[in-house]
Amino acid sequence: MKRYIKYLGIAAIIIGILLFVLHVVLNYHGNALLFSGLTLVLGGIVLFVKGEGATAIQPSKEDKDKK
């Protein structure tokens, strides 16, 4: 399950960028799309970095037992 955190982060970043683009294309005058997009991008970055740390190569117990 931990390896999917990285992919959730990438999805959140993409959705956040799409909200920024939607704000520009629709010429929306409020800040709701901008703040939502900013929150998703920052949250996605945090999730991606946490996901990278969770999937880092770490020696398993099996490798220690073989030595």
Q: Does residue 38 belong to any structural domain of this protein? A: yes
Q: Does residue 65 belong to any structural domain of this protein? A: no
Tokens of 33: 């799309």
Q: Does residue 22 belong to any structural domain of this protein? A: yes
User: Whole domain around residue 22: which residue ranges?
Assistant: 3-56
Q: Does residue 27 belong to any structural domain of this protein? A: yes
Q: Does residue 66 belong to any structural domain of this protein? A: no
Q: Does residue 62 belong to any structural domain of this protein? A: no
Q: Does residue 9 belong to any structural domain of this protein? A: yes
HSE-up of residue 54 (Cα within 13 Å, Cβ side): 14
Q: Does residue 45 belong to any structural domain of this protein? A: yes
What's the angle, vertex CA 31, arms to CA 34 and CA 44, rounded to 5? 25
Count of domains observed in the chain:
1
pLDDT tens digit string along 12-51? 999 999 999 999 999 989 899 999 999 999 999 999 898 8
Residue position matching structure tokens 């959705």: 15
The one-letter amino acid code at 42 reads: L
> What is the pTM (predicted TM-score) of this model?
0.75
